[in-house]
Amino acid sequence: MEYELRGDYPLSREEFRERMIMAEEHLFILGLGDAAEEVGRVNASLFLAKMHYIQEKLGYKPMGMIIGPPDFTFQTTPHKFRDVIPEGSKIIWGDGRYDLIPGDMEFDFCGLLVGAVENDISLRKILDRLYEMRDISYEIDGIEVQLRNFSPGSHFLNLYEVKNHEALSLPKRVAVLHASSDEMRDPLMDFVQEKAEVIETPFGSSHVLQDSDDVREYEKQCRHASEFAREKRKLLFRELFGNGDVIANHNHYELLNRNEAVIGCNIVNKEGEVFVSTLIDTSPVFLIKGKNNLSQRIIEELGFDSKITEKWVYNRLIKANILCHGGGHKLIEIDGVEKVLLYPNGEKVIVPRYGTEIGTRVYVDMANTPRTYRSQGILERVQSLELGEHYATLQFTHGIKADF
């Protein structure tokens, strides 16, 4: 990747190059190698360079790496893209014992629930029930559940028919609920603003929790928020569809421990547990049984073994246990990244590479880039890397753009 340092950039070209090489050596992406991945790599590399810089400044050994599943991509939220937050990633910045948590990731405990729809329910009835639910007060552990029905965003409630359901001992119809937990996100953001130290780096500023009591309290609140989010999805599903079986219910955006997090990435905790991978509505959706991964053979086939110089990196790779949660963003006009301009305050400009002569449009974030979602190659990549096994195919019937 070509980086152009503009203005009075605080690092020499040589030091910047050394830091970026170190960052890229700790970036392990299992993706499709397309333009969206290339953009995502820019942010992921800069995030790692920032993390390594912070750790050195605080007297820690620099331990930071990112593992990206097949749907690895880029952030579309402008301030997250500018803060170089990765998307579709398992992020690691220590061995679980560092009292250090970067506070800019804004965990919203987003996830997907798949549940059996036992009764024949029409779209009109679902809409009527959603309307009724707005006037009902719901609580979990004394915390009011927020219902914002029909808000714009990436979340949804979709219904599907399960192909070959009888042979698989699955229900004929399932609902997939994609929802987050702003009820828990917002207090955690307030906690960060109150407790975190702002550390300046050549790659931008970062809010960092490092007081041991604050780190433990934040980690405790995140564990509670993680469970709250899963319970919230179950409550919503039961209110809409009754007591159908919950087939899968996983968060893919949360803190795993004080030195690990996932943003748009599933974690396999038990061999064979079921996950859903959602693509665009016109494409089938897949249920996947997760595997413990990555294997030594896959690590070698990907050429990752040539990058591994530290035992802790290998230990994290061999126990990655990651799985994609969807297809990830796909860029329509852009073929890749020609170069990146970096400014002294941490701001960056993406200069794309185009396959046709359409003129040049540069980006400081990716919110308005022409894009869709990947629909091809994700399942094949999951299976070829032995991340999981195809379990069932779901055919879209109808959906509601509801952001709970």
Question: What number of other Cβ atoms are within 10 A of residue 166's Cβ?
Answer: 9
| pLDDT value for 279 | 80
Q: With beta carbons less than 8 A apart as the criterion, state whether 56 and 226 touch.
A: no
Round to whole Å and give the CA distance between 369 and 300. Answer: 35
**pLDDT tens-digit series, residues 362-390:** 999 999 899 999 988 999 999 999 999 99
| pLDDT value for 282 | 73
| pLDDT value for 152 | 59
The DSSP 8-state label assigned to residue 278 in this structure reads B
Q: Which residues, listed in sequence order, are joined to residue 160 by a DSSP beta bridge? A: 174, 396
Q: With beta carbons less than 8 A apart as the criterion, state whether 11 and 5 touch.
A: yes
Which parts of the chain have pLDDT scores under 70?
A: 148-153, 357-358
| pLDDT value for 298 | 97
Instruction: Write the DSSP assignment of 362-403 as a string of letters.
Output: -BSSSTTS-EEE--SSHHHHHHHTTSEEEEEEEEEEEEE---
206-225 CB burial, b ≥16 within 10 A, e <16: bbbbbeeebbeebbebbeeb
In the chain, the N- to C-terminal Cα span, in Å, equals 39
Round to whole Å and give the CA distance between 171 and 381. Answer: 27
**pLDDT tens-digit series, residues 198-211:** 999 999 999 999 99
| pLDDT value for 301 | 96
Round to whole Å and give the CA distance between 29 and 141. Answer: 38
